[in-house]
Amino acid sequence: MAEVKLFGNWGSPFSGRIEFALKLKGVEYEFIDEDIYNYKSPLLLKYNPVHKKIPVLVHNGKPICESLVILEYIDETWEKGPSLLPKDPYERALVRFWTKFLDEKCVPTLWKTCWSIGEEQEKAKEESTELLKILEGTLSDKKFFGGDSIGMVDIVANFISYWFIILQELAGLQVLTKEKFPKLGAWIDDYLNCNIIKENLPPKDKLTAYFRARFEAAAAAAK
Amino acid sequence: MAEELKLFRTWSSPFALRIVHALKIKGLEYETIFEDLSNKSDSLLQYNPIHKKVPVLVHNGKPICESLVILEYVDETWKQCPLLPRDPYEKAKARFWAKFGDDKLFSSIWNVFTTQGKEQEEPIAAAVQNLKPIEELLKEKKFFGGETIGYLDIAFGWTANIISILEEIMNLNLVDEEKFPLLSAWMQNFSNDPVIKECWPPRDKMIVKFQVMREKYLKAVVSQ
């Protein structure tokens, strides 16, 4: 019998991606919530000795690490249910390009924008705005990055739809607004309205409280 | 319909070399456009407006960017001589290690290359640490792909191409034959493979190029 375990964290957008994908495919799994900022469990270190990070998917005892790698593994292993990637090789190449772009450029820059201060923050804000303009352009007249329905790019962009919105508000910023980015704004509404997504997001108040505590700790440490 | 395949590359880029190897293995005809990165062509900027980098593969007018993305595209479009394993778990492992090579290993080797003296000690230790799991991967295998060159060999090709050049310039032995016997043997086997050897950039030219680069980096550090 197939045994699927997901090592993640209740608040992480990265393990969140995997949960969405598994739920979309209708795969039963056991979620192991790791308190990654304070402690890395022996099992996590065993399954991901190289990066010591979540998410890790363990399928019949075999670990798969790195969320983009896991998402493709899920799509290839559970072929029934909605596809995360299109079938056409060129369309697949575009998905891989954009997910890489999101993970390597967008997410780190948006994250940095919220956590940095002064000149560093100004620079990060400018970079974030340029990156968001590119994403706005990519959406063009599509409802989702995946077209009419959610695909892997939408799932990987999850950070922008929810976590970043909470963070930018806590940081007193207005980098991503509906006025500046109408298409992204509409995408966020449509994305968060999808049942699979909506039902599996970490609770807003819990996440806000968690980030607020981290902001306060960072501010205290800076003094 | 005749296929139109163009590859934008530079003579030295190890990432572009990945695509050269893949296209060769698949037996594909294509046109090469050599770019001067200090004076990028309009075509390159049109085909890769976001990163403005090489390699870019253009297939029937449609551009694909990012070398690992291009590798998968080539493998999925032309089914002869498969590069990636069939099994999803083996595929996942190959993708994981290719990413590790690009993200962690490359930057740790680069950190060694752009430092010297006392400042180089920590980067050297980190690079050696990152080389260890790669050595492990080669247990009982000639190539990362098994008996023949595959996706992961091509993805790690830069190590066989660049590391010995950097070592010569720095007079430093990172991939020690004693500490890394399997990796050392793999580098030899990979570089000597007829398909790979044919496309290797000239070593003396590479040495000059990287020597100049190292001097620039070290000067920049001193002037800070």
pLDDT in tens, A203-212: 999 999 999 9
Per-residue confidence band for B25, with pLDDT thresholds at 50, 70 and 90? very high
Which B residues 94-153 touch A at CB under 8 Å? 95-96, 99-100, 104, 133
Tokens of A142: 């599509």
Q: Is B77 on the interface with A (CB under 8 A)?
A: yes
The predicted model gives A191-195 an average pLDDT of: 94
Question: Distance, in angstroms, between B94 CA and closest chain A CA?
Answer: 9
**Best mutation site among B5, B52, B96, B135 for testing chain A: the one with the most A CBs within 10 Å?**
B96
Residue B220: predicted pLDDT: 86
pTM: 0.95
pLDDT at B222 over 90: no
Touching check for B73 and chain A: CB below 8 Å? Answer: yes
- Please report, for residues A22, A158, A162, A190, A207, the alpha-carbon distance to residue A198 in angstroms, rounded to integers and kept in the order given: 15, 11, 10, 10, 15
DSSP B11: S
The per-residue pLDDT for B185 is: 97
- Quote the percentage of chain A above a pLDDT of 90: 91
User: What pLDDT shows up at residue A76?
Assistant: 97
Distance CA B6, CA B61 (A): 9
| Cis amide leading into B49 (omega within 30) | no
Read off the pLDDT of each residue in B197-214 and give the average, rounded to a whole number. Answer: 94
Per-residue confidence band for B77, with pLDDT thresholds at 50, 70 and 90: very high
Contact status, residue A28 vs residue A4, Cβ threshold 8 Å: yes
Structure confidence at residue A131 (pLDDT): 98
Closest by Cβ to A69, choosing from B59, B66, B95: B95
The single residue listed with the structure tokens 């690490």 is A65
Nearest Cα to Cα of residue A15 among A56, A49, A50, A43: A56
Among A59, A66, A97, the residue with its CB nearest the CB of B99 is A66
Per-residue tokens: B23: 């296209």
Inter-residue contact A155 to A20 (CB < 8 Å): yes
DSSP B202: P
Percentage, residues of chain B above pLDDT 70? 99
Yes or no, beta carbons of A89 and B73 under 8 Å apart? yes
**Separation of CA B36 from chain center:** 19
User: Is residue A2 less than 8 Å (CB to CB) from chain B?
Assistant: no
* Residue-level pLDDT at A219: 87
Size of interface A-B (CB pairs under 8 A): 56
Please answer yes or no on whether B65 and A96 come within 8 Å at the CB atom.
no
Mean pLDDT of the residues in chain B: 95
Q: B220 versus B134: which is more confidently predicted? A: B134
Q: What is the distance between the alpha carbons of residues A129 and A160, in angstroms, rounded to a whole number?
A: 12
**Amino acid in the structure at residue A39:** Y
Q: Please write the tens of the pLDDT for every residue from A31-80.
A: 999 998 888 899 999 999 999 999 999 999 999 999 999 999 999 999 98
Give the number of other CB atoms < 10 A from CB of residue A41.
Answer: 13
Contact list, B64 vs chain A (CB under 8 Å): 90, 93, 97
Q: Which residues of chain B are within 8 Å of residue A66 when distances are taken between CB atoms?
A: 95-96, 99
Could A100 and B66 be called an inter-chain contact, meaning their C-beta atoms sit closer than 8 Å?
Answer: yes
Beta partners for B32?
B7
Residue B43 pLDDT greater than 80, yes or no: yes
Look at residue A2 in the predicted model and tell me its pLDDT: 64
Report the interhelical angle of A89-101 vs A67-77 (nearest 10°): 150
Cβ contact, residue pair A50, B100, below 8 Å: yes
| Interface mutation vs chain B, best among A73, A79, A134, A136, most B CBs within 10 Å | A73
DSSP letter, residue A155:
H
**Positive or negative torsion for Cα B202, B84, B106, B5:** positive
**Chain B environment of A72 (Cβ under 8 Å):** 91-92, 95
CB contact under 8 A, A72 and B69: no
pLDDT of residue A9: 96
Closest CA to B159 of B11, B12, B14, B13: B14
What average pLDDT does the structure give for chain A?
95
Res A1 pLDDT > 60: no
pLDDT for A167 beyond 60:
yes
- Supply the pLDDT for residue B2: 64
pLDDT level of residue A129 (50, 70, 90 thresholds): very high
For residues B11 and A199, give the distance between their C-alpha atoms in angstroms, rounded to a whole number.
51
